[in-house]
Amino acid sequence: EAQVTQNPRYLITVTGKKLTVTCSQNMNHEYMSWYRQDPGLGLRQIYYSMNVEVTDKGDVPEGYKVSRKEKRNFPLILESPSPNQTSLYFCASSRVRGAGASEQYFGPGTRLTVT
Amino acid sequence: SQQGEEDPQALSIQEGENATMNCSYKTSINNLQWYRQNSGRGLVHLILIRSNEREKHSGRLRVTLDTSKKSSSLLITASRAADTASYFCATADLSGAGSYQLTFGKGTKLSVIP
């Protein structure tokens, strides 16, 4: 089954404790992206990747890191989480590099709480 | 980056009625997409309409695009309780780095009452 998986689905952590949210897709997609969703602010893009070893900042990259060492994986790293990073996070992938050129497939989401 | 804006923010209708949601955006685009999100879940792609298309259908969905007004509408006909969800439009800028970023509006929350 074609899908994007994220782990963990739920995470409660404390300020400053490094964490990684994994994202994996099995569709051989070129493009992958991370978004955060907050009430009243909608979805905002954090980082995106057009291919292996090619990543770029989205609209809200501060406090996050990403890497794309393999085509299928695109982990999101919070080196020192803070309470303002409490949010619902989504990973997405699409077949072509242009973000708007084809549909994006979304993962189920990771609900992160930083206390 | 530019952002689509959906209107209305919330919409409540009876089962069987039609639901119309609108989206406005700011810059030139190659295409526009609509997504649905059930509460707290991942977004699901509904339809993509290209800038040279004016109307597109998919089952009970009808999407229109007016590039001169920079607006799009999503019509759901004969709504069902299962259509209850938030609906988002998404666009990518035509040029430069923006073409690699898909920007979402804040969504329209649709409630269909059985």
Q: What is the pLDDT of residues B77-95, one digit of tens each?
A: 999 999 999 999 998 776 6
How confident is the model over A5-31, as pLDDT tens digits? 999 999 999 999 999 999 999 999 999
- Helix (H) / strand (E) element for A85: namely none
Predicted pLDDT of residue B1: 47
Residues of A in contact with B90 (CB under 8 A): 100, 104
Predicted pLDDT of residue A40: 84
A-B contacts (CB, under 8 Å): 76
Predicted pLDDT of residue B70: 93
Nearest residue of A to residue B38, measured between CA atoms: A108
β-pair type (B19-24, B5-7): antiparallel
- Across residues B21-38, what is the average pLDDT? 91
Residues of B in contact with A92 (CB under 8 A): 43
pLDDT tier, A98 (very low <50, low <70, confident <90, very high otherwise): low
How confident is the model over A48-76, as pLDDT tens digits? 998 899 999 998 999 999 999 999 999 99
Q: Is A96's pLDDT higher than 80?
A: no
How confident is the model over A25-55, as pLDDT tens digits? 999 999 999 999 998 888 999 999 988 999 9
Average pLDDT, whole number, for chain B? 90
- Across residues B8-13, what is the average pLDDT? 94
Locus of tokens 């954090």:
A46
Q: From CA A32, how far away is CA A11, in angstroms rounded?
A: 22
Closest CA to A75 of A4, A1, A2, A3: A4
Predicted pLDDT of residue B97: 55
Residues in B lying within 8 Å of A, measured between beta carbons:
1, 3, 29-33, 35, 40-45, 48, 88, 90-92, 97, 99-107
Alpha helices (H) in A1-115, listed in sequence order: none
Nearest residue of A to residue B42, measured between CA atoms: A108
Interface check for A101 against chain B (CB to CB < 8 A): the answer is yes
Answer whether B30 sits within 8 Å of A48, measured CB to CB.
no
